[in-house]
Structures are given as C-alpha cells and as structure tokens.
C-alpha cells in the first residue's frame, strides 16, 4: 500500500544536506560502476558523468567559486579525466553511437 502521508517539512539546511548526501552516493555508485559507459548513460538517461561535472562547475561558478572543467571532472570521476578514460572508457559500438546521435541533447 502506498504511503499517503504528507511530505515532511524540511528546512533549507536539511534539504541541502540530503541532496548533497544523495549526490555523493550517486558519485560513489558511478565510481563503482565504471563498466557503465557515458554513452550508455546518455542513451538511457539523457545525462552522463560529464554532464554532472558541468552542472557542478556551473553551481560553483554561480556562487562565485571558479572551477575549471578539469577540476570539476576530477571531482565527479574521482581521478583526472584522462586517467579515467585510459582505465575505463571503451569504444562504443556503432549501434550505441547511432542511438546517441538520435538522442543527443540539442545545444
């Protein structure tokens, strides 16, 4: 039976704390699942690790904290991006590449 109780009232601090904890858990999960390629994430969910790093950088810069693309990627990937690519990135199949071209976000 679904829970029909009202949504609890959260303070702004609680909301931020819970969102940050969920984000950290997502990064840890993605770190454990290096077998899941960015193209898989993009094709299935419409975002990938690079998107997360861009959103992180956007949030930092919006608050006045400069952060380079490389720095934000290292936060998300848990290591320098080039190192992650060397260790974990695999060539995408033609089918995955075709699906990406169809589903890629339009800038």
pLDDT for the residue 40:
93
What is the tens place of the pLDDT at every residue in 20-42? 999 999 999 999 999 999 999 99
Find all residues with CB under 8 Å of 92, minimum gap 6, and list them. 37, 39, 100
Among candidates 45, 47, 34, which has minimal Cα distance to 83?
34
Q: What class, spelled out in words, does domain 48-107 have in CATH?
A: mainly alpha
Question: Is 2 a residue whose pLDDT tops 90?
Answer: no
Q: DSSP label at 92?
A: P
What is the tens place of the pLDDT at every residue in 60-97? 999 999 999 999 999 999 999 999 999 999 888 898 88
Q: What are the sequence ranges of the domains in the chain?
A: 48-107
Confidence of residue 102 (pLDDT cuts 50, 70, 90): confident
Q: DSSP label at 33?
A: T
For the record, the structure tokens of 36 come out as 């899941």
Q: Within a 13 Å sphere around the CA of 14, how many CA atoms are in the beta-carbon half?
A: 4
Consecutive H or E run containing 98? helix 94-103
pLDDT for the residue 95:
87
Confidence of residue 15 (pLDDT cuts 50, 70, 90): very high
């Amino acid at each position: 039976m679904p829970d029909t109780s009202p949504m609890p009232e959260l303070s702004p601090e609680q909301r931020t704390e819970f969102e940050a904890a969920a984000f950290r858990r997502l990064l840890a999960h993605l770190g454990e699942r290096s077998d899941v390629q960015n193209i898989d994430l993009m094709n299935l969910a419409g975002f990938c690790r690079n998107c997360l790093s861009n959103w992180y950088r956007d949030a930092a810069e919006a608050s006045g904290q400069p952060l380079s693309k490389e720095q934000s990627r290292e936060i998300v990937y848990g290591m320098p991006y080039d190192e992650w690519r060397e260790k974990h990135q695999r060539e995408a199949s033609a089918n995955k590449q075709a699906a990406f071209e169809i589903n890629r976000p339009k800038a």
